[in-house]
Amino acid sequence: MPARPPIPYDFLPEVPALTVESDDIRDGERLPEAHVFDDWGMKGQNLSPHLRWSGAPESTRSYAVTCYDPDAPTGSGFWHWVLFDIPADVTELPTGAGTADAKVGKHARNDFSVKAYGGAAPPPGLPHRYLFAVHALGVDSLGLDTDAPPAVVGFNITANTLARGFIAPVYET
């Protein structure tokens, strides 16, 4: 397999690390079918994975959770999940929390054009990495509408990030 470039978060401003864990996914291991898309020829359940995090600075005022595929053949990657304005007292999301009727935070539309989690759906070929990241933010709210594109939300997340951590499972068809 050809070498992959560094994970894109290597290019973001350096910040302290959060510890991110999951009962459902593991760094570097295959993404379970439960978290794979349920369309585009995929037969997954399209459930967002369980995530929990710790180690945020005391000045954390909210969180954002994102899932990004840097290996998508688009020239700009693919946003699978963009959840922001998560209150600072929330440090865990259960499996399936990424539905359109999420009770915590706000969903921006993903690159499927849906305001919810959208599972892995890579074209056949090389494995893709899915970066499930948690960002500790220094603001209560990003002040964005849920119609903001993922790149705009990502820009505002980066501008307000105090700490960040991620789990990067892989998936291929």
pTM for this structure?
Answer: 0.93
- Give the pLDDT means over successive 10-residue stretches in the chain (173 positions): 57 89 96 93 92 98 97 91 98 96 93 95 91 97 96 96 96 91
* Residue 34, burial from CB neighbour count under 10 angstroms (0-12, 13-18, 19+): middle
Q: Is the distance from CB of 78 to CB of 66 less than 8 angstroms?
A: no
4: in domain = no
Type of residue found at 36 = V
Type of residue found at 119 = G
CATH of the domain at 112: 3.90.280.10
5: in domain = no
Other CB atoms within 10 A of residue 110 CB = 23
* Structural domains of the chain, count: 1
Closest CA to 18 of 118, 162, 168: 162
7: in domain = no
